[in-house]
């Protein structure tokens, strides 16, 4: 497994700021000259020649200097899993979080509530600046990162003491970084300029002010970079102690699989909404050839299978709690609920193909996903409880039969809000004797591994060798985890426990501090994600689903004790839905729901809803929770509207900042903005 690890004491403090070949596409030559002068005054990383002019030759004079430049390129990678910088965590409808929290900046929630704009776009990775209120990505512009990658690739042949094996590896890493920075921008903005090489400092404005390139050109270029990177990168990192976090062959192929799946998806593949979207040359930016629609899915099929095969060759497999954490004695119920929770949070587990474990990246996130376990903790340190799943997410998970609540024949006559008292048969998921609602009973194990509810159990916080004395969350007003202040309470009556590692803990008598966070690599790509992408691409490429489609989604379901999709719907679905897995459209619906459940709270939903063109359907509906002000069960379990989000067609793609378009007059704004 590989993780992006950017420890503050690992990377150079003063990153490469300037060089004589870099030219950001956002600036005209005159503006660039001004920026160069300012940069010279601030830069103290490069040594300087007698005339005080830093040179590229000096930056690559030996292995040590070149390695520093490599680390500078790595530092431009966006901080996935950081609620302050990753729009996918707070920008969808999975989570509701208050504007002010005890821990963490929540500005990304503004995307969900409809506050995106062109003057100062939220998650503005196109033209972020150090004086932005967010200081996104440390104020580092992704175009500058791409430019630095180009400089590295142009000069890595110069260090005299760099061995050829290492030169090839570093080249592969920077090709990967360059592809990923393009991919991040492409996923947000759609058609983007391609910075294949850097312009000279004295290049005419016509060369500097580049046009946005058509979708297919961007995709093909990213694939070319990743194919080249894969030929140079090792199968796995050779020294995990010092290199964990560096790209390997499997990561490159997995990213290629994601790129081609995105390109084949409805947002980018023959999207009629963008049929008239052209640049100032009259070049059409989105493909419209229907004859190529299925071929793109087949291309994705090939790429995903290649990535899966490489993952298997590299000993990646689906996480299994009993195998990967054997020194415990817990029930089958607890073990099943820990399957996906562990897959997402167990450090360096074999399912993680690529993850991000920057220093303290998920410590605050885990606090937001942890309840108070004792009254002392509530009075001082401990959890903040405000990373709150919405009722839509709670209802989204399957029943114990492995199908949606609305399709399950056993649930047709149930009132999901009627109260019921738990028995010993429920004790591993719900406190014995506790009164909670039908919605919390007889759900799939992934639900119990992801959602902490009133009366629900919490495996972890120093109680991990057995499960006969688990913590219990009481969420009603006046209870230990009931609503108190806006900045430290759940607004929905639920807590996301999936992202809290079970070995993170705080002493029972803690009144401030004392929190021990078991940091993990936040999952960017894990094997279950690739399996579900493969099932999706196969289903779209074929005329009808077959055993090959079912195989890969069923592998994911089997891990948490669920039957295969065909059997589950045949046995438990209401009459009209029994044949849902047998049709292409029905299987598409099932695969999408499966991704929402399996990858819940990992950021996948945010991007999936966009690439499927389903965000308008999901993100214009009210956000509901429970009545957190209610003290009695009857008052607490009332469906309560919290907010009505807004999503317009224009929101599928990010707006370009107005100032960026003034710097480059060849840019065109995205439709609707």
Q: Write the pLDDT tens digit of every residue in 545-595.
A: 999 999 999 999 999 999 999 999 999 999 999 999 999 999 999 999 999
Pick 200 or 392 by higher pLDDT.
392
On whether the 2-85+123-316 domain is CATH 3.40.50.11240, my answer is no
Question: Which of 152, 155, 161 lies closest to 64, judged by CA?
Answer: 161
Furthest-apart CA atoms within the chain: distance in Å:
84
Q: Per-residue pLDDT for 411 more than 70?
A: yes
Model pLDDT, residue 351: 97
* pLDDT (tens digit per residue) in 318-353: 999 999 998 789 999 999 999 999 999 998 899 999
- Give the pLDDT band of residue 512 (cuts 50, 70, 90): low
Distance CA 381, CA 364 (A): 12
Distance CA 39, CA 47 (A): 14
Contact between residue 603 and residue 609 where contact means Cβ atoms under 8 Å apart = no
Model pLDDT, residue 119: 93
- Give the pLDDT band of residue 20 (cuts 50, 70, 90): very low
Give the lowest-confidence range in 266-275, 355-364, 394-403.
355-364
Distance CA 500, CA 519 (A): 9
Model pLDDT, residue 5: 34
Tokens of 16: 């490469």
Distance CA 461, CA 471 (A): 8
**3-state DSSP call for residue 278?**
strand
What's the average model confidence in pLDDT over 525-552?
98
- Give the pLDDT band of residue 15 (cuts 50, 70, 90): very low
List, in sequence order, every residue forming a beta bridge with 463; answer none if it has no partner: 460
- Give the pLDDT band of residue 29 (cuts 50, 70, 90): very low
Query: What burial class does residue 286 get, using C-beta atoms within 10 Å of its C-beta: 0-12 exposed, 13-18 middle, 19+ buried?
Result: buried
Mean pLDDT of the chain: 88
The domains of the chain are located at 2-85+123-316
Tokens of 325: 């954490």
* pLDDT (tens digit per residue) in 40-60: 333 322 222 334 335 788 899
Q: Per-residue pLDDT for 381 more than 60?
A: no
Tokens of 140: 């580092």
Distance CA 255, CA 304 (A): 9
Pick 155 or 127 by higher pLDDT.
155
Model pLDDT, residue 577: 97
Distances (CA, A) of 260 to 327, 427, 587, 601: 41, 45, 20, 23
Tokens of 373: 């376990």
Model pLDDT, residue 31: 32
CB neighbourhood size of 218 (10 A): 24
Model pLDDT, residue 587: 98
Model pLDDT, residue 253: 98
For the chain, percent of residues with pLDDT exceeding 90 = 76
Distance CA 81, CA 522 (A): 6
Contact between residue 233 and residue 247 where contact means Cβ atoms under 8 Å apart = yes
CA dihedral in degrees (256, 257, 262, 268; nearest 10)?
70
Pick 9 or 174 by higher pLDDT.
174
For the chain, percent of residues with pLDDT exceeding 70 = 87
- Give the pLDDT band of residue 377 (cuts 50, 70, 90): confident
Contact between residue 321 and residue 331 where contact means Cβ atoms under 8 Å apart = no
Model pLDDT, residue 382: 55
Question: Which of 203, 285, 198 lies closest to 19, judged by CA?
Answer: 198
Dihedral (CA of 404, 408, 413, 416) sign: negative
CA dihedral in degrees (231, 237, 238, 244; nearest 10)?
150
Distance CA 583, CA 47 (A): 65
* pLDDT (tens digit per residue) in 443-490: 999 999 999 999 999 999 999 999 999 999 999 999 999 998 888 899
DSSP assignment, residue 428? Answer: T
Contact between residue 343 and residue 365 where contact means Cβ atoms under 8 Å apart = no
Phi/psi-derived region of residue 233, left when phi > 0, alpha when psi is between -120 and 50, beta in every other case: beta
* pLDDT (tens digit per residue) in 55-87: 788 899 999 999 999 999 999 999 999 998 999
CB neighbourhood size of 538 (10 A): 25
What's the average model confidence in pLDDT over 353-371?
83
- Give the pLDDT band of residue 100 (cuts 50, 70, 90): confident
Distances (CA, A) of 623 to 42, 340, 365: 47, 25, 21
Q: Per-residue pLDDT for 362 more than 90?
A: no
Distance CA 462, CA 466 (A): 10
Rg (CA), the chain: 25
Phi/psi-derived region of residue 483, left when phi > 0, alpha when psi is between -120 and 50, beta in every other case: beta
Give the lowest-confidence range in 150-164, 165-179, 416-430, 476-490.
476-490
Model pLDDT, residue 99: 85
């Amino acid at each position: 497994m590989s993780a992006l690890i950017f420890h503050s004491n690992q990377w150079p403090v003063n990153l490469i700021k300037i060089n004589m070949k870099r030219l950001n596409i956002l600036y005209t030559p005159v503006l660039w000259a001004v920026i160069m002068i300012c940069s010279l005054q601030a830069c103290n990383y490069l040594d300087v020649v007698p005339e005080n002019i830093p040179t590229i030759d000096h930056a690559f004079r030996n292995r040590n200097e070149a390695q520093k430049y490599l680390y500078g390129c790595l530092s431009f990678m966006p901080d996935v899993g950081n609620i302050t910088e990753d729009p996918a965590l707070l920008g969808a409808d999975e989570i509701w979080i208050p504007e002010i929290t005890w821990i963490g900046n929540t500005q990304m929630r503004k995307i969900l509530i409809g506050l995106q704009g062109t003057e100062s776009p939220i998650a503005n990775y196109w033209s972020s600046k150090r004086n932005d209120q967010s200081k996104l990505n440390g104020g580092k512009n992704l175009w500058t990162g791409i430019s630095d990658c180009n400089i590295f690739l142009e000069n890595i042949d110069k260090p005299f003491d760099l061995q050829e094996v290492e030169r090839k590896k570093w080249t592969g890493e920077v090709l990967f970084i360059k592809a990923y920075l393009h991919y991040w921008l492409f996923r947000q903005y759609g058609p983007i300029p391609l910075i294949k090489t850097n312009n000279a400092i004295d290049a005419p404005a016509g060369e500097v002010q580049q046009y946005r390139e058509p979708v297919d050109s961007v995709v093909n270029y990213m694939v070319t970079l990743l194919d080249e990177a894969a030929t140079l990168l090792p199968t796995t990192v050779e020294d995990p102690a010092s290199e964990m976090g560096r790209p390997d062959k499997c990561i490159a192929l997995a990213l290629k699989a994601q790129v081609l799946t995105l390109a084949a998806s409805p947002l980018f593949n023959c999207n009629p909404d963008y049929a008239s979207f052209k640049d100032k040359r009259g070049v059409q930016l989105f493909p419209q050839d229907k004859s190529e629609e299925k071929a793109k899915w087949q291309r994705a099929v090939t790429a995903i299978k290649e990535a899966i095969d490489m993952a298997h060759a590299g000993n990646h497999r689906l996480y299994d709690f009993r195998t990967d954490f054997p020194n415990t004695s817990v029930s089958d119920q607890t073990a099943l609920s820990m399957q996906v929770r562990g897959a997402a949070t167990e450090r360096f587990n074999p399912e993680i193909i690529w993850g991000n474990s920057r220093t303290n990246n998920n410590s605050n996130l885990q606090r937001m996903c942890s309840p108070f376990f004792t009254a002392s903790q509530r009075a001082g340190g401990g959890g903040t409880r405000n990373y709150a799943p919405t009722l839509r997410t709670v209802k989204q998970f399957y029943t114990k039969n492995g199908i949606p609540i609305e399709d399950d024949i056993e649930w047709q006559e149930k009132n999901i809000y009627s109260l019921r008292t738990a028995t010993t048969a429920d004790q591993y998921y719900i406190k014995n004797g506790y009164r909670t609602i039908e919605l919390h009973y007889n759900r799939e194990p992934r639900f119990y591994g992801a959602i902490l509810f009133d009366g629900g159990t919490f495996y972890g916080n120093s109680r991990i060798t057995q499960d006969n004395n688990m913590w219990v969350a009481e969420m009603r007003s006046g209870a230990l985890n009931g609503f108190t202040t806006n900045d430290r309470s759940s607004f929905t009556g639920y807590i996301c426990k999936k992202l809290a590692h079970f070995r993170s803990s705080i002493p029972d008598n803690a009144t401030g501090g004392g929190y021990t966070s078991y940091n993990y690599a936040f999952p960017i790509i894990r094997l279950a994600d690739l399996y579900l992408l493969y099932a999706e691409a196969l289903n779209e490429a074929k005329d009808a689903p077959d055993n090959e489609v079912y195989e890969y989604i069923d592998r994911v379901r089997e891990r948490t004790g669920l039957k295969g999709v065909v059997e589950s719907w045949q046995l438990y679905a209401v009459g009209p839905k029994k044949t849902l897995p047998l049709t292409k459209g029905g299987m598409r619906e099932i695969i999408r729901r499966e991704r929402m459940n399996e990858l819940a709270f990992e950021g996948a939903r945010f991007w999936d809803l966009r690439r499927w063109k389903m965000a308008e359907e999901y993100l214009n509906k009210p956000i509901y929770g429970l009545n957190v002000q209610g003290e009695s069960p009857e008052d607490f379990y009332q469906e309560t509207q919290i907010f009505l989000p807004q999503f317009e067609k224009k929101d599928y793609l990010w707006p370009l900042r107005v100032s960026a378009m003034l710097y480059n007059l060849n840019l065109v704004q995205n439709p609707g903005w």
